[in-house]
Amino acid sequence: MKELLKTKVTVRLRKAEFRKEWFIYLESYPVVIPGKEKAQRIREYLNRSVTTVDFDKKRPARTTQDSVSYKPKFDYPFLIIIL
């Protein structure tokens, strides 16, 4: 059994490599697992995908010298229903 103490759960999107869709998953950290020394990061895929994602141009994400990416807007009401 996984022990969850002060665990933060975040809804994340992962881009499919060869298709125009995004997979929805939950990322939890820190998760204490018996027998492990350090807390673990757990990813739980929901078997759901989104084909249209709106990006918020006011919220930059990872930026490199070559490119700028933005965080997605989470104004989709169905995310609450799935969880």
Mean of pLDDT values over 66-72: 76
Q: What is the pLDDT of residue 74?
A: 64
Q: What is the pTM of this model?
A: 0.60
pLDDT at 39: 86
Task: Convert the pLDDT of each residue in 28-57 to its tens digit.
Answer: 888 888 888 888 898 999 888 888 777 777
**Residue-level pLDDT at 81:** 43
**Dist. CA 25–CA 16, nearest whole Å:** 13
